[in-house]
Structure formats: C-alpha cells, structure tokens
Amino acid sequence: MAVPYVNLNAVNGHFFDEYTEELKKMFDEGQFVLGPVVQKFEEQFARYVGIKHGVGVNSGTDALMLSLAAAGIGPEDEVLCPAFTFGRCADAIARLGATPVLVDVRPDTYCIDADLMMASITSRTKALVAVHLFGNACEIDRICTVARTYSVAVMEDMRHAAGARVNGRRLGSFGQFGCFSFYPTRTLGGIGDGGLVTTGDEKNAESIRRLREHGRLGGKGEHDMVGYNSRLDAIQAALLSLKLQDLDENNWERVENARLYTQLFKGSPVQTPPFKDDLSAVYNMYTVLVPERDKLAVHLTEKGIGFGIYYPTPLHMHPAFEYLGYKQGAFPVSEDLSKRAISLPIAPGLKKKQINEVANAVLSFYGASVS
Ligand SMILES: Cc1ncc(COP(=O)(O)O)c(C=O)c1O
C-alpha cells in the first residue's frame, strides 16, 4: 500500500463549504489584500499565541527578514543562526547586508546548541535566530537569558512549530519576534504562501506594519522608510482563521503518530527524535536518523512510501554561502545530520495502518520488521 508523505485534503477538505462562503463575502466586498479579514486573523492568532500583536506578511522568510529589519539589523551586524536549517534563514540575514554567523546544532533536538551559541557572541552580534526545527522546541529559556545578558534580539523561527508550547507558554511569545510561516504543509497551513510576525512590543509591530506596506502606514502617500511589498492576502487569512480552531487537535494527532513510530522503531537501527507528549514538540516533520539514508530513500520510493530529506546540505556547504568562508568539518553535528536525516509521513489524517506500513517498509530495509 502506497503512503503519501502528506495528504493536505485531510486537514483542508472539511473546511471547503465554510471557506467558499467566506470567499463569496470577499468577492462581494472586494477587499483582497490586508483589510478586515486579515485583521481578524491577526488578532485571533496573537490571542492564540498569547501575545499582544500579530502582523500578517506574505511568507515565513519575509517574517524573519522584516523582523530583522525592524530590529535595525544591517551591514556591520552579525546574526547567529543554526548551520542545520533551511537556507532561507541565512538569506534573510544576508539580504539586509548583515553577516550570518553559523552555529552547530544539538544531535538530540536538531536545534541550535545554546552553549555554542553563547560562545559565538561577539561585540557585533545583534540578533540570533532560534529555529524550532521540525517542530521541536529549542532551549528557548536559556537562549532568551543569554540574549538578555548580551542585549541581543531573539527571533524565533516558528515555521515548523505553530502551536508548540513550553511549560504551557506558546512558542513565538518568548523572543522579541516570532516568525511564522503558513506554507501549506505546516502545522497551520494556507493554500499558498503566507506568514505572520508576533511581537509583544507596539513599536516593533508598527515597524513591521510599515515595512510590509512599502514603508508607509495606512492610505497616506508618504513613505517614512524604505519598505517591501509583503502583505498577507485575505484568501489565505480567511482559511487560516477557520483552520486555527483545529490546530491543537491536529498537533495532538501528530504527537500520537510520533508515539506510535517511537514504539515501532524501538530496538531498531532507526534513531527516533525525543518523544514529548506535552506539545513541546509538534512534529511538523517526523525526522529520524538512519544508516545508509540515501539507499533507504531508494527503497522507500520503490515501495511507494513518501518521505522528505531535510536538509541534505548544511548551510555552510551551499555555494550561496561559500563567501562566509566556512570549511567542511566546521559543523560536525550538522554535517552528520545532513547525511542521516529522513522525514517520514506524520501529518494528521494518517491511519495507524499506514504508520505500520511506513515503519515496516523502513525496517525491512534493515532486515527487520514491526514486532
Ligand atoms: C526553518 C524554516 N524557516 C523558514 C522557512 C521559510 O518559510 P517560507 O517558505 O514561508 O518562506 C523554511 C522553509 O521551509 C524553513 O524550513
């Protein structure tokens, strides 16, 4: 039985009728960019995260870039970010003329190592990007304490972690900025690109509102600063508003799927991520570490099992970041993960039978089976 990596209809399909009613209203009213539908979602999402402001933008990448811009990051500044993450994280820093300073990650959570991060702070460090990779919370309390000590801003990269919480408090409310993405496969996904910045600070929220709207605020002609065109569309916000009501339930389903995988892989050569059942991991990706990853990928393809490889190349080995001058061997954990990590289907809608099927397909490659 083939198992797709993700089946988006399982989380979107039942909203179709309600959503088309919203679309009809939107057509009647003709407000497609920002406007009341977006504002309603921004308020609703900020309440959900437990923070004062939410500002909708058009992607997770822009959420980070606009946050860095609002924090005044520019040439001469250094921004710390993990060496094992999506390349666009360092892009956002480099686009502002600042220098991405890479830091290795932890082998257990795959997230930035707080001790190494602290050791990388210099007088030029102005911000750090804490990526809650694959939906695993990074050491956010420690990171925020270090950041306060050195007066460095914390950007939480929330792309994989919408809905996750630590000690009952939602991620995205710890740092100065929470940078969310609503790419369709995320824990809260739209039907296209979308993003949002959370912040507890009125001035920061206003800066992001200006930056996303060409540097101006409201309908006035004057531009107070050089900005971007990075607004959230109402067609995304209307669906996200509806889907927000399912987010916790969907994340719990991901946790239950992770629980089952953890049991099925016990005692096998498959190294599973730490299992947490308090939503401090929301398993946007269920990423395991395996021997002979690339051969396993071929085996899974032959069996019709979907998977993802995140990330086959650590940041410092991308030609785009060659100019930073890092050599192979600079970030051993990131380099090792990039060779051994493979993400298995985990999204809501997956049946227990399918999880068994995936686990069996993986284990059969190593000459084992689900017991
Ligand atoms: C950790 C991380 N941050 C940011 C992004 C970019 O988000 P977006 O595609 O919404 O720009 C990605 C993309 O996959 C990502 O994996």
Last residue of a domain, which of 177, 212, 244? 244
Two tokens at 111?
A: 């997230």
Mean pLDDT of the chain: 95
Band of residue 222 on the pLDDT scale cut at 50, 70, 90: confident
User: Ligand 1 centroid vs 159 CA: distance in angstroms?
Assistant: 6
102 shares a domain with 205 = yes
Atom of ligand 1 nearest to the CA of 60: 10
150 shares a domain with 82 = yes
Atom of ligand 1 nearest to the CA of 195: 10
Q: How far is CA 175 from CA 47, 128, 230, 244, 283, in A?
A: 16, 10, 22, 22, 21
Q: Which residue has the higher pLDDT, 215 or 152?
A: 152
Q: Which of 134, 132, 125 shows the shortest CA–CA distance to 185?
A: 134
Atom of ligand 1 nearest to the CA of 61: 11
Residue owning the nearest CA to atom 7 of ligand 1: 60
Four-point Cα dihedral 155, 193, 22, 162, nearest 10? -40
- What range does the domain containing 308 cover? 247-365
Q: From CA 176, how far away is CA 344, in angstroms rounded?
A: 33
In a domain, 126, yes or no: yes
Q: Which residue type sits at 213?
A: E
Atom of ligand 1 nearest to the CA of 160: 1
User: Ligand 1 centroid vs 367 CA: distance in angstroms?
Assistant: 36
267 shares a domain with 237 = no
Inform me whether the pLDDT recorded for 220 exceeds 70: no
Q: What is the CATH number of the domain that holds 107?
A: 3.40.640.10
User: Ligand 1 centroid vs 370 CA: distance in angstroms?
Assistant: 34
Does 253 sit in the ligand 1 pocket, CB within 6 Å? no
User: Ligand 1 centroid vs 188 CA: distance in angstroms?
Assistant: 13
Q: From CA 316, how far away is CA 327, in angstroms rounded?
A: 7
Q: Which helix (H) or strand (E) holds 287?
A: strand 286-289
239 shares a domain with 187 = yes
Contact 22, 38 (CB under 8 A): no
Q: What is the CATH number of the domain that holds 333?
A: 3.90.1150.10
Of 32-46, 216-230, 336-350, minimum mean pLDDT range: 216-230
pTM to 2 decimal places? 0.96
